[in-house]
Structure 1
Amino acid sequence: MTIFSKIVSGEIPAHIVAETTDFMAFLDVNPLVMGHVLVIPKKEIDYIFDMEDELYTGLTLFAKQVAKAVKIAFPCKKVGVAVIGLEVPHTHIHLIPMNNVSDMNFAKEKLKPSQEELAEAAIKIKAKL
């Protein structure tokens, strides 16, 4: 069971910004920039392109809705999208508010926001959904 499956089951707390029957979006606890959200299918599938078409399409449309809210909550030029899939063997899409390409640099040091800062960020995004 992945850390993301444990978030879905409620074993591990998370700052959830959106949820449906099949999908969940929550804040990255070590974001590249504030407002960095992870979007996942609740079903544990390691590789995004192993997803069935209907689930894949649903995940993409769900991520689009969340990205629109992120862009309003954390004003930026665009919300960057990344699927890397090496860190956790559970499909996830990174949505990252960006004003320049370096905001998407996964090699840079990540932020370490407090639980209070994450809670405030989650509230800002939820309010825009």
Structure 2
Amino acid sequence: MTTLFTRIIDGEIPGRFVWSDEVCVAFGTIAPITDGHVLVVPRAEITELTQAPDDVLAHLVVVAKAIGLAQQAAWDAPRAGLLVAGFEVEHLHLHVLPAWDEASLSFRNARPDVPGEELDAAANRVREALRAGGHGAHVPSALGSPAL
């Protein structure tokens, strides 16, 4: 069965894309813990972390690092956090977010009521920081499209 994330990648459900390459995409979550919270998702439907081929997992972490650096620059955050839980959607995804403290890493602080225009603005901030960091080739030309 097609996952929610595959439907987002395929354009059936809108997404706020900040990264796209042949292995993965990254898009803003609809319930961010902090502004700029992004999900890095493999294009392949891999259920969870321990099922990922090593090369795919390594690629996801490299992309997460690039996004984390962009988030730190965009929000002047001392850290970039990386969480892997995956209970809400059975499609591997890495949560990458700017972090200031341990509370910045708690799903209890997720905000499902952030207005769409604020989510758009946060995604655009990540996109701009990725371009400034030399990753423009992987930033999709349109916020709502995973295509380059």
Using structure 1 for the length normalisation, give the TM-score: 0.94
Unpaired stretches in structure 2, ≥5 consecutive residues: 131-148
Residues 65-105 of structure 1, C-alpha deviations (whole Å, 9 max, x = no match): 11111111122110111001111100000112111111111
CA distance in structure 2 between the partners assigned to 1:77 and 1:111 by the alignment: 24
Unpaired stretches in structure 1, ≥5 consecutive residues: none
CA distance in structure 2 between the partners assigned to 1:81 and 1:4 by the alignment: 18
CA distance in structure 1 between the partners assigned to 2:75 and 2:17 by the alignment: 16
User: Do the aligned partners of residues 25 and 53 (structure 1) sit closer, same or farther apart at CA in structure 2, a change above 3 Å counting?
Assistant: same
CA distance in structure 1 between the partners assigned to 2:76 and 2:112 by the alignment: 18
Contact kept, 8 Å, 2:28 with 2:37, in 1: the verdict is: yes
CA distance in structure 2 between the partners assigned to 1:109 and 1:123 by the alignment: 20
User: Do the aligned partners of residues 111 and 77 (structure 1) sit closer, same or farther apart at CA in structure 2, a change above 3 Å counting?
Assistant: farther
Matched, 1:88 2:60: no
User: Do the aligned partners of residues 64 and 13 (structure 1) sit closer, same or farther apart at CA in structure 2, a change above 3 Å counting?
Assistant: same
CA distance in structure 2 between the partners assigned to 1:118 and 1:102 by the alignment: 20
- In the alignment, what sits opposite 2:135? none
Contact kept, 8 Å, 2:31 with 2:110, in 1: the verdict is: no
Aligned-residue sequence identity (percent) comes to 32
User: Which structure has the highest helix share of the two?
Assistant: 2
Q: How many residues align?
A: 129
Q: Is the deviation greater in 102-111 or in 67-76?
A: 102-111
Contact kept, 8 Å, 1:47 with 1:89, in 2: the verdict is: yes
Matched, 1:107 2:111: no
Q: CA deviation at 1:111?
A: 4.7
What is the Cα-based RMSD across aligned positions, in Å?
A: 1.2
Contact kept, 8 Å, 1:5 with 1:44, in 2: the verdict is: yes
Q: Which amino acid aligns with 1:98?
A: A
| SS of 2:60 mapped into structure 1 | helix
- In the alignment, what sits opposite 2:133? none
| Greater than 6 Å deviation, 4+ residue runs | none
- In the alignment, what sits opposite 2:99? 98
Using structure 2 for the length normalisation, give the TM-score: 0.83
| SS of 1:107 mapped into structure 2 | helix
